[in-house]
Copies of this chain bind each other. A is one copy, B any other.
Amino acid sequence: MPRGPGQRAGLTRAAVLDTAHALLAEEGLDALTMRALARRLGVAPNALYSHVPGKTELVDALLDDRLSLVEAPDPAAADPVAALAALMTSSYEVLLARADLLPLYLARQGSRGPNAVRLGIATDALLARLGLAAEAIPSARRALIVHAIGCAAFAGGDGPVPAEMARADFTRSLRWLLDGIAAQPAKSAPP
């Protein structure tokens, strides 16, 4: 029996996001519409707006949720370059499973949800351990992020390049970037 106006469906923001994740994973970005999402939840389309500001914010939340699966590296890791490589590789893997979303993410310059901020801070800490000057750190961070997201968006596409090859490309060019970053002029060392 359908609900009338005023009767609650027990919807929560978490339930909306969970179902959105499932819909995205199962049917792709094109199928992720507010109306299809509402259908899956058994509510009227506009009921979603009590728990989510709009579709843009929902998509942002989905991507940042995804980044919660990446664990921040130990800032005191013995080998900061290896720790950066592991962090970027882990981000790449996790983002690959939601490659549909990445184009939008790139265009918004990685609009910063809490998890993106958390990983950004961890990245900066490792870059500082390499001896980078403070002004050089944001640039290096952006280069690594654009690379990881760009490669994941590319690999997740439906083009002719197989996933394994795209992954090998990612790893190799990541090394080139890290080599370049590590070879940058260091800030003056303490005496």
Residue ranges of A at the interface with B (Cβ–Cβ < 8 Å)? 99-100, 102-104, 106-111, 139, 142-143, 146-147, 149-151, 153-154, 156-161, 165-166, 168-169, 172-173, 175-177, 179-181
Contact = CB atoms under 8 A, between A and B. Distances in A.
A169 B106 contact: no
B103 A159 contact: no
Given A109-B154, A139-B172, A176-B176, 10 more contacts: A106-B153, A107-B156, A107-B158, A108-B157, A109-B159, A142-B161, A146-B150, A146-B173, A147-B173, A180-B180
Contacts of A99: 107
A168 B107 CA distance: 18
A153 B151 CA distance: 13
A140 B150 CA distance: 15
Contact of A153 (B103, B147, B165): B103
Given A175-B180, A177-B176, A109 B151 contact: no
Given A103-B107, A106-B103, A143 B156 contact: no
A65 to B, nearest CB: 20
A187 to B, nearest CB: 17
B172 A143 contact: yes
A92 to B, nearest CB: 12
A79 B187 CA distance: 32
A145 to B, nearest CB: 8
A106 B109 contact: no
Nearest to A155: B109
